[in-house]
Amino acid sequence: MNTNQLKQEIIEYSKEIGIDKIGFTTADIFSELKERLIRQQELNYQSGFEKGSNEERTEPRRLLPEAQSIISIAVAYPSRMRKDAPKSTKEERRGFFCRASWGMDYHEALRERLRKLEVFIHEKVEGAVTKIMVDTGELSDKAVAERAGVGFVGKNTILITEEYGSFVYLGELITNIPFVPDTRVEDGCGDCRKCIDACPTDAIVQGGQLNAQRCIGFLTQTKDFLADEFRVKLGNRVYGCDTCQLVCPYNLKKDFHLHPELEPEDDVAKPKLKPMLTMSNREFRETFGHVAGAWRGKKPLQRNAIIGLGHYKDKTAVDELINIMNSDPRPVIRGTAAWSLGKIGTEEAFSAIQEAMLKEKDTDVLFEMDKGLAFQEVQLIKE
């Protein structure tokens, strides 16, 4: 088998199946990454969504003992919605899903392409062994892509390609075929620190370490009460955060609409907030079930939508918020609704909180109700 020729054939085929960039690397241990993971654990910077041990995450041969090479793929996604996409109005406030959750769930979009690549390789090489991964696998997509020359990992800890900026999804295929590796791309951040300065929660530390415990991208996926400090920073984000990508000079004018399945749908990428509060599980699945941002279920997104309405001080949402504060079975939803009502701060909202406090039994919810009422005191002081 001529692996150089096969590599060329794979590169050509990848273009036919909607892969925008491809790179090859060895299956050697990712030593730098291992050190970084240990540091992150010591500092308690991890999100808790990580899969596998440090060894599994950095030693490809633990995942595929015969591994010789890893093929990294990148697929570009859009960064802008259509110019006439619906706007958030005073009567109908809208939330926002980060760009990585626009269109079809990228895990599936990438898996489809990797599966085709797998079939192609098996047709060409008898005895080929392959294993594919996208995001939720043990390996770090970014570390693989960086070593395979697809791009460099910026201080915002996101992989940046020359052609598409950081608006790319990544996946990889581990194989026993010994391809000649591509050259790693040098770090391109230099003295720039735009992403560090723009991050609303100071989650990027030491230029290149992410404290996931402070990153809104991760926090929007948690299911418990959101700490007060982050509620005010959340704005109208329902899922994820793009700020450190949007300010990056490498993303300037980068907006690729190459794959119809990755195009945002108006009412999904920018959903109306009020209808989200009372969605049934079935409505949720029908509306959001196919996007990446739905993977943690309905509750975190509803909690974020409630905070979003508070952020907008949306008086038209008071009735709905009172309703869920009084009747939703989930304490996180009742308590966050009370907080949001306090933030909106109408007389009706404050009286409803007081009334609800007489019946509420859950101490966490009562604590949130106290916080909601505390906004009234702030209002009185201001007056």
Q: Among 10, 195, 238, 294, which residue interacts with ligand SF4 (rule: CB under 6 A)?
A: 195
Q: Give the per-residue contact string, 236-275, with ligand SF4 (x = CB under 6 A; - = no).
A: -----x-xx--xxxx-------------------------
Exposure of 272 by Cβ count < 10 A (0-12 exposed, 13-18 middle, 19+ buried)? Answer: middle
Rounded distance between C-alpha atoms, residue 70 and residue 68, angstroms: 7
29 to 68, contacts with ligand SF4 by CB under 6 A? none
CA 198 to chain centre: 17
Identity of the residue, 155 or 343, whose beta carbon is nearer to ligand SF4 in the bound complex: 155
Is 343 a residue that touches ligand SF4 (CB under 6 A)? no
Among 72, 201, 221, 222, binds ligand SF4 (CB under 6 A): 201
State in angstroms the smallest separation of the CB of 208 from ligand SF4. Answer: 9
- Out of 216, 306, 307, 338, which residue is the one contacting ligand SF4 (CB under 6 A)? 216
Q: What is the dihedral of CA 359, 365, 366, 372, to 10 degrees?
A: -110
Which residue of the set 105, 135, 141, 242 is catalytic? Answer: 135
Extended beta strands in the chain, E state: 21-26, 69-76, 96-97, 130-133, 152-153, 159-160, 168-175, 204-205, 209-210, 237-239
Annotated catalytic residue 228:
no
Specify the residue, 212 or 356, whose C-beta has the smaller distance to ligand SF4: 212
Nearer to ligand SF4, 165 or 372 (CB): 165
Q: Scanning residues 127 to 166, which ones bind ligand SF4 (CB under 6 A)? A: 154-156
Nearer residue to ligand SF4 within complex by CB, 208 or 297? 208
Could you identify the residue written with the tokens 């007489």? 358
Q: Which CB atom, from 6 or from 192, has the smaller least distance to ligand SF4?
A: 192
Would you call 168 helix, strand, or coil by DSSP?
strand
Judged by CB under 6 A, which stretch of 10-18, 26-34, 213-221, 365-373 contacts ligand SF4? 213-221
Rounded to whole angstroms, what are the CA distances from 62 to 43, 138, 178? 26, 10, 17
CB of 260 to ligand SF4, least distance (A): 27
Alpha-carbon gap, residue 169 to 141, rounded angstroms: 9
CA 69 to each of CA 20, 81, 139, 216, 225: distance values in angstroms, whole numbers, following the listed order: 20, 37, 13, 35, 43
Instruction: With contacts defined by CB under 6 A, name the span among 58-66, 83-91, 110-118, 215-223 that binds ligand SF4.
Output: 215-223
For the beta carbon of residue 126, count every other beta carbon within 10 angstroms.
Answer: 7
What phi and psi values does residue 131 have, to the nearest 5 degrees? -150, 130
d(CA 27, CA 144): 9
Residue from 352, 351, 348 nearest 334 by CA: 352
Shortest CB 6 distance to ligand SF4, Å: 34
Each residue of 276-301: b (16+ CB within 10 Å) or e? bbebeeeebeebbeebbbbeeebebb
Stretch that binds ligand SF4, among 1-9, 14-22, 191-199, 375-383 (CB under 6 A): 191-199
In the chain, the N- to C-terminal Cα span, in Å, equals 81
- Interface residue with ligand SF4, options 199, 307, 309, 321 (CB under 6 A): 199
Nearer to ligand SF4 (CB atom), residue 201 or residue 236: 201
Is 168 a binding residue for ligand SF4 by CB under 6 A? The answer is no
Residues carrying an active site annotation: 135
Residues found near ligand SF4 in the complex (CB under 6 A): 154-156, 189, 192-195, 199-201, 203-204, 210, 215-217, 241, 243-244, 247-250
